[in-house]
Structure 1
Amino acid sequence: MKQHTLPDERRPANDGPKAAARNRAALVSAAREIYATDGLDAPLSAIARRAGVGQGVLYRHFPDRVAVATAVLEENVRQVEQAAAAGDATFAGVLGVMTWHLTESAAFIGLLHADRTGGRSDIGAYALALSGRVERGLRGRLPDGHRLAAADDLMLAVAMVSGAVTGPTRDERERRALAAWRLLGVEVGPVRPFDG
């Protein structure tokens, strides 16, 4: 059998590792969008389609549903940490970033609960580690004497707000999150992702 080759100008570019990183980022972004509207039980094929890649590419990066969800959680936490580390960051601004992620990720907050992890204690430990990273980021920008400065108050408030983040649309989830912060007497900056 004879192989036919295309002239150089018609060959698709082989981006190698760049394509892998781009595909992974596209999958995480697509998963966030799909989970926000359809929940954790959304078909993985829908995530691959939204990302513009085949299911084989999805499974090359993420062996199962839990791996996809934890990758999205990891990205959420990383952005909160980056927002907190920015030189001009304020507590209200970091809360705005965290609140954006809560409203985008509300459909899979259940992953943090042991009954949703299929008995996998490694997921529970991982969720605790992520929570600790969020708390360190927020505490690093918490002004002295703030109403949430007491030992457990900050993360209790975060848990209370995350429990209020419900609704069929992103706008409704954001409205409820901001109402919860307001009822707690906490100022929140613009609700948006961290754009570095």
Structure 2
Amino acid sequence: MATSRANPGPRAAAANRRSLIDAARALFDERGVEVPLVEIARRAGVGQGVLYRHFPDRASLVFAVFDENMTQLESLAQEHGPLPLRRLGHEISHRVQGIAPLMSFATSTPDDPRLGALEGRMRVLLEQSRDSAHKAGHLRSEVTIEDLLLAISMLAALAYTVPPDQRESRVEHAWELISRGLESP
């Protein structure tokens, strides 16, 4: 006699979404943004219908991964106050490493309002950290938010171009070099 599993229905929605984002992050990093969505659904342990119910297209899934990373950064800043730029850079670098292949995909749609919203949230974090660093005398007075965004973009581009096993050391080294140029003499 076969036993049937009860369908958890809507109660499973949050867990399914979580599984899809985790699977997407891993597969995007392993195989690139163009990995078939069916493979993401399979790794998450859900059907394609569930994937499309949560994320109607690839871009929605990509931005969900970015959104989650931004939320984690905001939570850190809320918990600890403005993060020192070095710590914020470290946190961003580590989040970029896991989503490096997504960077070119997201920035290829510069008019997408989701990208603008994420950039706005990043600007708030950077402004808080920059202002705190300026007050403490740890940052050159002429450093702007655009300078910091450019530095983050360079780190993301580097992370995207190096093999996964070299990302952490290369991004850390690059952040160290960038930091030297930003810090007060």
The aligned counterpart of 1:132 is 120
| 2:71 maps to 1:39 | no
- 1:107-126 matches, within 5 Å, as 107-114=101-108, 117=109, 121=111, 123=112, 125-126=113-114
Q: Please, what is the CA RMSD of the aligned residues?
A: 2.6
* Unmatched 5+ stretches in structure 1: 1-5, 187-196
The aligned counterpart of 1:189 is none
The aligned counterpart of 1:179 is 173
Aligned length: 173
| 2:81 maps to 1:93 | no
Q: Contact (CA 8 Å) 1:80, 1:97: kept in 2 or not?
A: yes
> In 2, distance between residues paired with 1:61 and 1:47?
13
Question: What percent identity do the matched residue pairs reach?
Answer: 38
User: Any idea what the Cα deviations from partners look like across 1:12-71, whole Å, max 9, x if unmatched?
Assistant: 455444310010011011101111111111000111111111111111111111111111
- Structure 2: which amino acid aligns with 1:127? L
Which deviates the most, 67-76 or 22-31? 67-76
- Structure 1: which amino acid aligns with 2:128? G
TM-score, normalising length: structure 2: 0.81
Indicate which of 132, 135, 153 corresponds to 2:147: 153
| 2:46 maps to 1:58 | no
| 2:14 maps to 1:21 | yes
> In 1, distance between residues paired with 2:91 and 2:82?
11
TM-score, normalising length: structure 1: 0.77
- Structure 2: which amino acid aligns with 1:168? P
Indicate which of 162, 165, 176 corresponds to 1:167: 162
Q: Contact (CA 8 Å) 1:167, 1:173: kept in 2 or not?
A: yes
User: Any idea what the Cα deviations from partners look like across 1:71-101, whole Å, max 9, x if unmatched?
Assistant: 1111111111112211266323332221111
Name whichever structure is richer in helix by fraction.
Answer: 2
> In 1, distance between residues paired with 2:59 and 2:75?
24
**How many Å apart are 1:11 and its aligned residue?**
6.2
